[in-house]
A = this chain, B = another copy of it.
Amino acid sequence: MAPRPLQPSHQFIGGNLATNAGGPSCLKYGVTRHWVLGVRAVLGTGKEIRTGSLSHKDVAGYDLTGLLVGSEGTLGILTEATLRLAPIPEARGTVVATFPSLEDAALAVQQVRQAGITPEAMEFMDGATLSAVDDAFSLGLQNVQALLLVGLSGHRLAVAQETQDVYRLLEKGSLRVDLGLEKNEIERLWLARRSAFGSLARRAGNLWVEDISVPLSSLATMVRKIDLIAQKHDLLVATLGHAGDGNLHPQFSLRGEPDEEDRIKEAIEEIVSLAVSLGGTLTGEHGVGQEKRDLLPSALDQGAYKTMEEIKKVFDPLGIMNPGKVL
Protein backbone atom coordinates (compact mmCIF):
# COMPACT_ATOMS: atom_id res chain seq x y z
CA MET A 1 0.00 0.00 0.00
CA ALA A 2 2.16 2.88 -1.25
CA PRO A 3 0.70 6.34 -0.68
CA ARG A 4 0.14 8.08 -3.98
CA PRO A 5 2.23 11.20 -4.51
CA LEU A 6 0.09 14.24 -3.83
CA GLN A 7 -1.27 15.93 -6.91
CA PRO A 8 -0.81 19.56 -5.98
CA SER A 9 -3.79 21.69 -6.97
CA HIS A 10 -1.56 24.73 -6.74
CA GLN A 11 2.16 25.31 -6.43
CA PHE A 12 2.76 27.98 -3.85
CA ILE A 13 6.23 28.49 -2.46
CA GLY A 14 7.01 31.28 -0.09
CA GLY A 15 5.96 33.49 2.70
CA ASN A 16 2.23 32.93 2.80
CA LEU A 17 2.65 29.34 3.94
CA ALA A 18 5.76 29.96 6.04
CA THR A 19 4.03 32.63 8.10
CA ASN A 20 0.51 31.13 8.10
CA ALA A 21 -0.44 34.43 6.51
CA GLY A 22 -3.50 36.38 7.48
CA GLY A 23 -4.81 39.51 5.78
CA PRO A 24 -8.25 41.10 5.65
CA SER A 25 -10.35 38.08 4.61
CA CYS A 26 -9.52 35.80 7.57
CA LEU A 27 -12.57 37.09 9.40
CA LYS A 28 -14.84 34.99 7.22
CA TYR A 29 -12.49 32.52 5.54
CA GLY A 30 -9.95 31.64 8.25
CA VAL A 31 -6.16 31.70 8.14
CA THR A 32 -3.83 30.10 5.57
CA ARG A 33 -3.29 26.97 7.69
CA HIS A 34 -6.97 26.02 7.34
CA TRP A 35 -6.58 25.75 3.58
CA VAL A 36 -3.48 23.55 3.41
CA LEU A 37 -4.21 19.85 2.96
CA GLY A 38 -0.62 18.72 2.85
CA VAL A 39 2.94 19.78 2.17
CA ARG A 40 6.23 18.39 1.00
CA ALA A 41 9.12 19.71 3.06
CA VAL A 42 12.84 19.25 3.39
CA LEU A 43 13.75 19.21 7.08
CA GLY A 44 16.95 20.30 8.76
CA THR A 45 18.01 16.65 8.78
CA GLY A 46 18.15 16.77 4.99
CA LYS A 47 15.23 14.34 4.82
CA GLU A 48 12.18 15.09 2.74
CA ILE A 49 8.76 14.37 4.20
CA ARG A 50 5.26 14.48 2.76
CA THR A 51 2.33 15.28 5.03
CA GLY A 52 -1.46 15.16 4.72
CA SER A 53 -3.57 13.92 1.85
CA LEU A 54 -6.17 15.23 -0.59
CA SER A 55 -8.92 14.90 2.06
CA HIS A 56 -9.74 17.76 4.40
CA LYS A 57 -11.07 15.16 6.84
CA ASP A 58 -7.89 13.26 7.63
CA VAL A 59 -6.96 12.21 11.16
CA ALA A 60 -4.18 9.76 10.33
CA GLY A 61 -1.54 10.67 12.91
CA TYR A 62 -0.32 14.05 14.12
CA ASP A 63 -0.89 17.34 12.30
CA LEU A 64 2.54 17.86 10.75
CA THR A 65 1.02 20.05 8.05
CA GLY A 66 -0.22 22.58 10.61
CA LEU A 67 3.13 22.46 12.37
CA LEU A 68 5.15 23.24 9.23
CA VAL A 69 2.76 25.94 8.01
CA GLY A 70 3.59 29.02 10.07
CA SER A 71 6.98 27.77 11.25
CA GLU A 72 8.75 30.56 9.33
CA GLY A 73 11.19 28.21 7.67
CA THR A 74 12.69 27.17 11.00
CA LEU A 75 11.56 23.53 10.82
CA GLY A 76 11.94 22.87 7.13
CA ILE A 77 11.69 24.31 3.64
CA LEU A 78 8.31 23.81 2.03
CA THR A 79 8.82 22.63 -1.53
CA GLU A 80 5.19 21.87 -2.39
CA ALA A 81 1.76 22.47 -0.94
CA THR A 82 -1.68 21.11 -1.71
CA LEU A 83 -4.39 23.64 -1.04
CA ARG A 84 -8.08 23.25 -0.47
CA LEU A 85 -10.05 25.45 -2.84
CA ALA A 86 -13.40 27.17 -2.43
CA PRO A 87 -15.67 28.70 -5.04
CA ILE A 88 -15.10 32.42 -5.61
CA PRO A 89 -17.87 34.31 -3.79
CA GLU A 90 -20.73 35.13 -6.14
CA ALA A 91 -21.16 38.71 -4.95
CA ARG A 92 -19.43 41.44 -2.97
CA GLY A 93 -20.62 44.58 -1.22
CA THR A 94 -18.91 47.36 0.69
CA VAL A 95 -20.21 49.69 3.37
CA VAL A 96 -18.04 52.71 4.21
CA ALA A 97 -18.38 54.71 7.41
CA THR A 98 -16.50 57.52 9.13
CA PHE A 99 -16.28 58.01 12.90
CA PRO A 100 -15.15 60.68 15.36
CA SER A 101 -12.36 58.34 16.52
CA LEU A 102 -10.85 54.92 15.87
CA GLU A 103 -12.23 53.84 19.24
CA ASP A 104 -15.77 54.62 18.02
CA ALA A 105 -15.09 52.62 14.88
CA ALA A 106 -13.88 49.71 17.04
CA LEU A 107 -17.11 49.74 19.02
CA ALA A 108 -19.10 49.71 15.76
CA VAL A 109 -17.13 46.68 14.56
CA GLN A 110 -18.01 44.87 17.76
CA GLN A 111 -21.68 45.74 17.21
CA VAL A 112 -21.73 44.29 13.69
CA ARG A 113 -20.30 41.00 14.90
CA GLN A 114 -22.64 40.89 17.88
CA ALA A 115 -25.53 41.16 15.41
CA GLY A 116 -24.41 37.78 14.03
CA ILE A 117 -23.09 39.15 10.74
CA THR A 118 -19.73 37.82 9.52
CA PRO A 119 -18.36 40.10 6.80
CA GLU A 120 -15.39 38.98 4.74
CA ALA A 121 -13.38 41.91 6.07
CA MET A 122 -13.69 44.86 8.44
CA GLU A 123 -10.75 47.21 7.94
CA PHE A 124 -10.13 50.51 9.67
CA MET A 125 -7.66 53.39 9.52
CA ASP A 126 -7.12 56.25 11.97
CA GLY A 127 -6.70 59.97 11.18
CA ALA A 128 -2.90 59.79 10.89
CA THR A 129 -3.12 56.94 8.39
CA LEU A 130 -5.89 58.63 6.41
CA SER A 131 -3.93 61.85 6.17
CA ALA A 132 -0.97 59.99 4.64
CA VAL A 133 -3.26 57.99 2.35
CA ASP A 134 -4.95 61.19 1.23
CA ASP A 135 -1.58 62.72 0.36
CA ALA A 136 -1.13 59.85 -2.06
CA PHE A 137 -4.67 59.32 -3.37
CA SER A 138 -6.60 62.61 -2.81
CA LEU A 139 -9.77 60.98 -1.54
CA GLY A 140 -11.01 63.97 0.46
CA LEU A 141 -10.25 62.15 3.72
CA GLN A 142 -7.68 64.66 5.02
CA ASN A 143 -9.66 65.57 8.13
CA VAL A 144 -11.42 62.28 8.76
CA GLN A 145 -10.45 60.78 12.13
CA ALA A 146 -11.48 57.18 11.42
CA LEU A 147 -12.66 55.27 8.37
CA LEU A 148 -14.20 51.79 8.44
CA LEU A 149 -14.55 49.61 5.36
CA VAL A 150 -16.87 46.63 5.72
CA GLY A 151 -16.57 44.13 2.87
CA LEU A 152 -19.27 41.50 2.50
CA SER A 153 -19.12 38.49 0.22
CA GLY A 154 -21.06 35.34 -0.55
CA HIS A 155 -24.43 34.56 -2.08
CA ARG A 156 -25.80 37.62 -3.91
CA LEU A 157 -29.08 37.69 -1.96
CA ALA A 158 -27.31 37.37 1.38
CA VAL A 159 -24.79 40.08 0.48
CA ALA A 160 -27.56 42.46 -0.62
CA GLN A 161 -29.44 41.98 2.65
CA GLU A 162 -26.36 42.02 4.90
CA THR A 163 -25.10 45.21 3.27
CA GLN A 164 -28.38 46.86 4.30
CA ASP A 165 -28.12 45.37 7.80
CA VAL A 166 -24.57 46.67 8.27
CA TYR A 167 -25.61 50.10 6.94
CA ARG A 168 -28.39 50.32 9.51
CA LEU A 169 -26.10 49.18 12.35
CA LEU A 170 -23.45 51.75 11.45
CA GLU A 171 -25.90 54.64 11.03
CA LYS A 172 -26.04 55.09 14.80
CA GLY A 173 -22.48 55.67 15.99
CA SER A 174 -20.92 56.95 12.75
CA LEU A 175 -20.58 60.45 11.36
CA ARG A 176 -21.50 59.29 7.90
CA VAL A 177 -22.18 55.95 6.26
CA ASP A 178 -22.39 55.02 2.57
CA LEU A 179 -23.40 51.86 0.80
CA GLY A 180 -24.25 53.18 -2.62
CA LEU A 181 -20.78 54.36 -3.66
CA GLU A 182 -19.74 54.02 -7.28
CA LYS A 183 -17.70 50.91 -8.06
CA ASN A 184 -14.54 52.89 -8.85
CA GLU A 185 -14.91 54.93 -5.66
CA ILE A 186 -15.11 51.69 -3.63
CA GLU A 187 -12.12 50.27 -5.48
CA ARG A 188 -10.11 53.41 -4.69
CA LEU A 189 -10.93 53.09 -1.00
CA TRP A 190 -9.82 49.45 -0.89
CA LEU A 191 -6.70 50.37 -2.86
CA ALA A 192 -6.06 53.13 -0.34
CA ARG A 193 -6.37 50.62 2.50
CA ARG A 194 -4.00 48.22 0.78
CA SER A 195 -1.59 51.08 0.14
CA ALA A 196 -1.69 52.47 3.68
CA PHE A 197 1.76 51.09 4.58
CA GLY A 198 3.24 52.58 1.43
CA SER A 199 1.49 55.92 1.94
CA LEU A 200 2.78 56.19 5.50
CA ALA A 201 6.30 55.21 4.48
CA ARG A 202 6.17 57.75 1.62
CA ARG A 203 5.57 60.46 4.18
CA ALA A 204 7.72 59.25 7.07
CA GLY A 205 10.62 57.78 5.17
CA ASN A 206 10.89 54.96 7.66
CA LEU A 207 8.26 53.08 9.63
CA TRP A 208 8.21 50.58 12.46
CA VAL A 209 5.23 48.30 11.81
CA GLU A 210 3.55 46.44 14.67
CA ASP A 211 1.22 43.43 14.45
CA ILE A 212 -0.74 42.52 17.56
CA SER A 213 -4.12 40.83 17.96
CA VAL A 214 -6.61 41.21 20.78
CA PRO A 215 -10.05 39.70 21.35
CA LEU A 216 -12.73 41.85 19.74
CA SER A 217 -14.16 42.76 23.14
CA SER A 218 -10.87 44.54 23.92
CA LEU A 219 -10.35 46.24 20.57
CA ALA A 220 -11.62 49.69 21.60
CA THR A 221 -9.52 49.61 24.78
CA MET A 222 -6.42 48.56 22.86
CA VAL A 223 -6.86 51.31 20.27
CA ARG A 224 -7.15 53.97 23.00
CA LYS A 225 -4.16 52.63 24.91
CA ILE A 226 -1.96 52.60 21.82
CA ASP A 227 -2.48 56.36 21.46
CA LEU A 228 -1.72 56.92 25.16
CA ILE A 229 1.45 54.83 25.00
CA ALA A 230 2.63 56.74 21.90
CA GLN A 231 1.98 60.09 23.62
CA LYS A 232 3.84 58.97 26.71
CA HIS A 233 6.94 58.18 24.65
CA ASP A 234 6.52 61.27 22.43
CA LEU A 235 6.07 59.20 19.29
CA LEU A 236 4.04 59.62 16.11
CA VAL A 237 1.78 56.61 15.69
CA ALA A 238 -0.67 55.71 12.93
CA THR A 239 -2.98 52.76 13.54
CA LEU A 240 -4.82 50.64 11.02
CA GLY A 241 -5.79 47.02 10.92
CA HIS A 242 -8.07 44.10 10.39
CA ALA A 243 -10.57 45.34 12.93
CA GLY A 244 -12.98 42.41 12.64
CA ASP A 245 -10.22 40.03 13.78
CA GLY A 246 -8.86 42.38 16.45
CA ASN A 247 -5.59 42.43 14.48
CA LEU A 248 -3.95 45.87 14.74
CA HIS A 249 -0.99 47.42 12.96
CA PRO A 250 0.16 50.49 14.87
CA GLN A 251 3.03 52.10 12.95
CA PHE A 252 5.64 54.38 14.37
CA SER A 253 7.27 57.01 12.17
CA LEU A 254 11.03 57.27 12.42
CA ARG A 255 11.89 60.96 12.27
CA GLY A 256 15.62 60.65 12.85
CA GLU A 257 15.38 61.97 16.42
CA PRO A 258 17.87 60.96 19.12
CA ASP A 259 16.96 57.87 21.19
CA GLU A 260 13.89 57.45 18.94
CA GLU A 261 14.46 53.75 18.37
CA ASP A 262 14.76 53.10 22.09
CA ARG A 263 11.51 54.93 22.75
CA ILE A 264 9.78 52.95 19.99
CA LYS A 265 11.09 49.69 21.44
CA GLU A 266 9.78 50.64 24.88
CA ALA A 267 6.39 51.59 23.44
CA ILE A 268 6.19 48.33 21.52
CA GLU A 269 7.04 46.29 24.59
CA GLU A 270 4.19 48.00 26.41
CA ILE A 271 1.78 47.45 23.54
CA VAL A 272 2.73 43.78 23.14
CA SER A 273 2.52 43.20 26.88
CA LEU A 274 -0.93 44.77 27.01
CA ALA A 275 -2.16 42.72 24.02
CA VAL A 276 -0.96 39.48 25.63
CA SER A 277 -2.48 40.37 28.99
CA LEU A 278 -5.82 40.97 27.24
CA GLY A 279 -5.70 37.39 25.92
CA GLY A 280 -4.24 38.36 22.55
CA THR A 281 -0.91 37.77 20.88
CA LEU A 282 2.31 39.60 20.03
CA THR A 283 1.98 38.68 16.38
CA GLY A 284 -1.27 38.15 14.54
CA GLU A 285 0.00 37.50 11.05
CA HIS A 286 3.49 38.87 10.36
CA GLY A 287 5.34 36.29 12.43
CA VAL A 288 8.01 36.30 15.12
CA GLY A 289 11.06 36.49 12.88
CA GLN A 290 14.08 38.17 14.36
CA GLU A 291 12.45 41.26 15.79
CA LYS A 292 10.13 39.51 18.25
CA ARG A 293 12.34 36.55 19.05
CA ASP A 294 13.38 38.02 22.41
CA LEU A 295 9.80 38.92 23.30
CA LEU A 296 8.38 35.47 22.54
CA PRO A 297 9.40 33.57 25.72
CA SER A 298 7.61 35.98 28.03
CA ALA A 299 4.54 36.13 25.76
CA LEU A 300 4.04 32.37 25.83
CA ASP A 301 3.42 29.85 28.53
CA GLN A 302 6.84 28.60 29.69
CA GLY A 303 6.06 24.92 29.12
CA ALA A 304 4.69 25.64 25.65
CA TYR A 305 7.85 27.56 24.74
CA LYS A 306 10.02 24.70 25.97
CA THR A 307 7.98 22.21 23.95
CA MET A 308 8.52 24.34 20.84
CA GLU A 309 12.27 24.23 21.45
CA GLU A 310 12.12 20.43 21.64
CA ILE A 311 10.09 20.26 18.42
CA LYS A 312 12.65 22.48 16.73
CA LYS A 313 15.34 19.94 17.70
CA VAL A 314 13.36 17.09 16.12
CA PHE A 315 13.05 18.86 12.78
CA ASP A 316 16.35 20.69 12.79
CA PRO A 317 18.85 19.12 15.18
CA LEU A 318 21.76 21.17 13.81
CA GLY A 319 19.93 24.49 13.95
CA ILE A 320 20.54 25.28 10.31
CA MET A 321 16.96 26.15 9.24
CA ASN A 322 16.48 29.93 9.16
CA PRO A 323 18.78 30.38 12.17
CA GLY A 324 18.18 33.26 14.55
CA LYS A 325 14.46 33.35 13.86
CA VAL A 326 11.42 32.56 16.05
CA LEU A 327 13.06 30.65 18.94
Contacts and interface: CB of A to CB of B under 8 A. Distances in A.
Interface of A, secondary structure class, is loop
Give the residue among A47, A50, A158 with the most B Cβ atoms within 10 A: A158
Interface in A108-156: 116-118, 154-155
Interface stretch (A30-38, A168-176, A231-239, A259-267): A30-38
Interface stretch (A98-106, A192-200, A202-210, A269-277): A269-277
B314 A53 contact: no
A257 to B, nearest CB: 26
Given A22-B57, A327-B61, A51 B304 contact: yes
A55 B214 contact: yes
A304 B64 CA distance: 8
Contacts of A295: 1
Interface string A58-101: 11111110110111000100000000001110100000000000
Interface string A267-306: 0010011001111111111111000100110111101110
Given A50-B304, A298-B1, A247 B280 contact: no
Interface string A200-226: 000000000000011100000000000
Nearest to A30: B34
Contacts of A30: 30, 34, 56
A163 to B, nearest CB: 12
A4 interface: yes
A59 B285 contact: yes
Q: In the complex this chain forms, how many copies of it are found?
A: 2
A106 to B, nearest CB: 15
Contacts of A48: 303
A280 to B, nearest CB: 5
A61 B303 contact: no
Give the residue among A63, A161, A285, A287 with the most B Cβ atoms within 10 A: A63
A310 interface: yes
A7 interface: yes
Contact of A284 (B59, B277, B300): B59
Interface string A1-27: 111101100000000000110100010
Contacts of A87: 116-118
Contacts of A284: 55, 57-59
A252 interface: no
Contact of A277 (B1, B67, B247, B315): B1
Enumerate the 7 nearest inter-chain pairs by beta-carbon distance, A residue then B residue, closest first: A155-B158, A54-B279, A157-B157, A49-B303, A55-B213, A66-B66, A87-B116
Interface of A: 1-4, 6-7, 19-20, 22, 26, 30-31, 33-34, 43, 47-51, 53-64, 66-67, 69-71, 75, 86-88, 90, 116-118, 154-155, 157-158, 160-162, 213-215, 242, 245-247, 269, 272-273, 276-288, 292, 295-296, 298-301, 303-305, 307-308, 310-312, 314-315, 326-327
25 contacts: A1-B273, A1-B277, A1-B299, A3-B276, A3-B300, A33-B66, A53-B213, A53-B279, A53-B281, A55-B215, A55-B245, A55-B284, A57-B242, A57-B245, A57-B246, A57-B285, A58-B284, A59-B70, A61-B300, A61-B327, A63-B63, A86-B118, A87-B118, A157-B161, A307-B314
